């Protein structure tokens, strides 16, 4: 569990350092949290599309914004609890920046791979959805 928590914190640090490279950038912390939440939404969307692919379930007609709110609120709550409580993000950031450069490069590579595979997985799940003849399931 500690490794998962550490990886989650390093993911935030990776996005924070990526956004912070631009001089004069404001709201860096908010943007990094938004990017972590966006990556989680991509993973949830991937799971949803795989579920639709496997069980051949059509999106319900009554699917509306309230379902997105039901998904987004726990993600936002988790971000606030994990990072904003006692301003934990500052401790995570200083811990990450205190690591030797070789280890930072290793974590950056791992985080880039996670982001790449999450996006590639979403694209692949949409490709699988496009191969199904949905007319027969309506």
As a whole number of Å, the CA-based R_g of the chain is: 18
pLDDT reading at 30 higher than 70: yes
pTM: 0.81
Q: Does residue 49 carry a pLDDT above 70?
A: yes
CB 125 within 8 A of CB 53: yes
Given a cut of 80, is residue 11 above it in pLDDT?
Answer: yes
pLDDT at 136 over 80: no
End-to-end CA distance of the chain: 42
Average pLDDT for 109-127: 92
Q: Rounded to the nearest 5°, which phi and psi values hold at 24?
A: 75, 15
Among the residue ranges 1-5, 9-13, 41-45, 97-101, the one predicted with the least confidence is 1-5
Per-residue pLDDT at 1: 59
Mean pLDDT to the nearest integer, 14-31: 84
Cβ-contact 56, 137 below 8 angstroms: yes
Pairwise pLDDT comparison (76 vs 123), residue with the higher score = 123
pLDDT tens for 55-103 read: 877 766 556 667 777 778 888 888 777 777 767 788 888 888 898 999 9
Which residue bears the tokens 């490069």?
105
């Amino acid at each position: 569990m500690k490794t998962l928590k550490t990886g989650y914190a390093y993911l935030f640090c990776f996005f924070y350092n990526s956004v912070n490279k631009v001089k004069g950038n404001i709201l860096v912390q908010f943007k990094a949290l938004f990017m972590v939440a966006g990556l989680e939404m991509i993973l949830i969307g991937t799971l949803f599309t795989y579920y639709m692919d496997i069980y051949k379930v059509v999106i319900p007609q009554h699917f509306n914004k309230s379902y997105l709110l039901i998904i987004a609120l726990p993600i936002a709550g988790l971000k606030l609890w994990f990072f904003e409580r006692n301003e934990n993000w500052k401790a995570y950031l200083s811990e990450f920046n205190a690591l030797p450069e070789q280890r930072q490069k290793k974590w950056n590579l791992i985080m880039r791979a996670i982001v790449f595979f999450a996006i590639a997985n979403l694209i692949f799940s949409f490709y699988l959805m496009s191969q199904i003849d949905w007319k027969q399931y309506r």
